[in-house]
A and B are shown apart, each in its own frame.
Chain A
Amino acid sequence: MTDIDAQGGEADTPAEIAPEIAPETLFDTLLTRSHEQLVLHPTRESYSALLATLHAAGYHSVIDLCGVDYLTNDSRQLPADIEPERFEVVVNLINHRERARLRLRVQVPEADAVVPSAFNLYPGTEAMERETFDMFGITFEGHPDLTRILMPEDWIGHPLRKDYDSGRIPVQFKGAPANR
């Protein structure tokens, strides 16, 4: 028993170097693991269909939805077939019955930052998608009320983008004189 295990352990190491393993999939979508957490990598086209599949499979809640701007980070791990893009929309789902969680990472190109909205299936994403729109400028197609949620409506720019200047500037209240 132990011998077989040891052999298996040895076989693991070269397998990591060899790229010839079939990529793991779940719900017909590329699957990776990040610290024992399951991460699915749908494309923008398959995202809506995957959500429908997951909803039918018992993932009844979108617990979290947020954006990430990978402008200055080249270190992320993605499956070979997935083309890295500047933005990512990260969706965390939960299956209460099986006590399981899944995370979806959808690549969103900068030039066409549009993602289908999950609102029709998961109305709870309403505020979260608005926040992602507000902070990253990612548009959610089909969202009923895509307005800014945290920043004032007339704010220019999307504050969580990596090319948005951050620093200690005076707080800009509306109507306050500039350059105070």
Chain B
Amino acid sequence: MMRMVMVVLLAFSGTALAEGGMLQGSCAACHNITGPAAQTLKDAFAKKGPDLFYAGNKYRQEWLVSWLQKPARIRPAGMFYGGHVKTGSKGDEIDPSTLISHVVLSKADATSVAAELMKLKPHNDLIAKEKIEPGSVPRQMGEMAFNKFLGCMACHLIEPEYGGFSGPELYTAAKRLQPEYMASFIRSPQAWDRKSMMPNKQLSDGNIQKMVHYLETLSKEGTNGN
């Protein structure tokens, strides 16, 4: 009987996947794949994973394919950190027992899901406003910006062992994200997600370019590419 159920399930998952149905099924259990973004904090607190309804505007396809086969945590304190923090003797600490791991996909499923995700592009208008010029930022200058001038490190890990924990790690950002998305999100996080935990730092066009260049530099470094 059990075997029969498994066969039926497998058959179903094959069919569903062939029709791009995995997004509507498994993925939609934890991700918002239809939009709009959360309109209230109550909804934002309840999020189990990042919104995927604009995945095609956000992610690099090759990274999706790779990560879905070998998922590693990007947000050290989970999607909404508030649900994964407890008070400790020296202050607040992450409660790992509350964190859930992402399901591992086969290469075929990862490739198929990534292709489906890349079709989701409701924010082409925001992306079209960004143009990334070629350029680079010296390591020292970028570090100064992340630390002293902009304070990104308060909430983000800017190196594997340095920075804050509530936001997604920055040292792999450019591996994961399209450059125009990074620029647009830095320019106005609220244009993408009204209740985003990311503040708008009112950066100039020039500084947005520099930040994207620095994120790209960081992600190209040997140990930061995974």
Determine if chain A interacts with chain B. no
